[in-house]
Amino acid sequence: MKAVQISRFGGAHVLALTDLPTPKPAAGQALVRIQYAGVNFIDIYQRTGLYKNPLPFVPGMEAAGVVEALGPEVIEFAVGDRVAFAMCPGAYAEYLCVAWQKLVKIPDPIAAEQAAAGMLQGLTAHYLAHDAYPLQVGDLALVHAAAGGTGGLLVQMAKIRGSRVIATVSSAEKEQRARSLGADWVIQYTSTDFAAKVKELTNGKGVDVVYDSVGADTFSKSLTCLRPRGYLVLFGQSSGPVAAVDPAVLAGMGSLYLTRPNLAHYISQREELLKRANDVFAWLKQKRLSVSIAKKFPLEKAAEAQEALASRRYAGKIILQVQR
């Protein structure tokens, strides 16, 4: 089978298309023929060595496809089922063996590319809005990178929850997208001091929660945007990791809460995975949620796909087309 493999940490050039043996499913596994794989910042963190995987490895943490074969002891699934998964490494490949407990069925009429684009980021947005900080009707949230894959879904889920949203984006095009997704206010952080603008919009009171996937460039100012006893949910670091924080700083700024959640801990139980995935798919079917695919790349252009994601030029999701 064709797969993209990383044999050393580094830039996008280390992503190499190669031939690997097609795996055979062990007990409890399904062999998935991958049609589309999502491209995410975690893939870049693993490629650069920020998150160190044993070398060599096949990157990619989410995909959608069709069950090709089953190992013993698999329940709930049959050959031919359309499925999707997230937080299962090795998705930049034509085939992958996945524990059946990690799979979810894709309901009609949702297309495989939609499922691949919305799986990891949809589940992420779900736990952020429902659990990391459970948004309530009337809450005010600041969402960074609101025109991106996760940010865009988070804006929509916040509105489903009845909350108000201040969004930050990097361009006029992305501002239009954030507004179309339901953001109540949008700040172009490249031309405006977002922290000062948040204070202005809230009459100095601050927001209930900041959802920050940017990291180093936004973290300190994000703290200043919070009301007393507000929550900063740091769930990414696209601009680089955040420096160590003295907990006393949080006390001095109003007894703030800081959490650094990880999706894996919010879908580790199958019941929780299914609840989140079923909500995401139901909202997609009801058109209460939309997934925007910014660009599709063939598998052999995985390096270009990751560079496109890192550039932040695109509003929406970048995916790889692996097989039809």
Indicate whether 131 belongs to any domain: no
What are 155-200's pLDDT values in tens digits? 999 999 999 999 999 999 999 999 999 999 999 998 999 999 999 9
Please indicate, yes or no, whether residues 243 and 280 belong to a single structural domain of this protein. no
Please indicate, yes or no, whether residues 182 and 116 belong to a single structural domain of this protein. no
Which of 214, 235, 260 is the endpoint of a domain?
260
- The owner of tokens 């609840």 is 275
Check residue 316 and give its pLDDT. 83
Please indicate, yes or no, whether residues 107 and 40 belong to a single structural domain of this protein. yes
What are 91-100's pLDDT values in tens digits? 999 999 999 9
Q: Look at 315 and 60; give whichever has higher pLDDT.
A: 60
Q: How far apart are CA 235 and CA 260, in angstroms?
A: 6
Average pLDDT, the chain: 97
Domain that holds residue 141: 137-260
Q: What is the mean pLDDT of residues 283-309?
A: 96
Q: Are 107 and 115 contacting, i.e. CB atoms less than 8 angstroms apart?
A: no
Instruction: Tell me the pTM.
Output: 0.95
Indicate whether 237 belongs to any domain: yes
Please indicate, yes or no, whether residues 159 and 228 belong to a single structural domain of this protein. yes
Please indicate, yes or no, whether residues 217 and 283 belong to a single structural domain of this protein. no
How confident is residue 291, by pLDDT bands cut at 50, 70 and 90? very high
Please indicate, yes or no, whether residues 177 and 254 belong to a single structural domain of this protein. yes
Indicate whether 127 belongs to any domain: no
Please indicate, yes or no, whether residues 181 and 240 belong to a single structural domain of this protein. yes
Tell me the CATH number at 306: 3.90.180.10
Please indicate, yes or no, whether residues 299 and 197 belong to a single structural domain of this protein. no
Please indicate, yes or no, whether residues 113 and 160 belong to a single structural domain of this protein. no
- As to burial, measured by CB atoms within 10 angstroms (0-12 exposed, 13-18 middle, 19+ buried), residue 65 is buried
Check residue 315 and give its pLDDT. 82
Q: What is the mean pLDDT of residues 107-119?
A: 97
Q: Report the b/e string of 119-142 with b at 16+ CB within 10 A.
A: bbbbbbbbbbbbebbebeeebbbb
Q: What is the mean pLDDT of residues 312-322?
A: 91
Please indicate, yes or no, whether residues 158 and 194 belong to a single structural domain of this protein. yes
Which of 217, 233, 260 is the endpoint of a domain?
260
How confident is residue 40, by pLDDT bands cut at 50, 70 and 90? very high
Question: Residue 324: pLDDT above 80?
Answer: no
Which of 210, 229, 260 is the endpoint of a domain?
260
Check residue 313 and give its pLDDT. 84
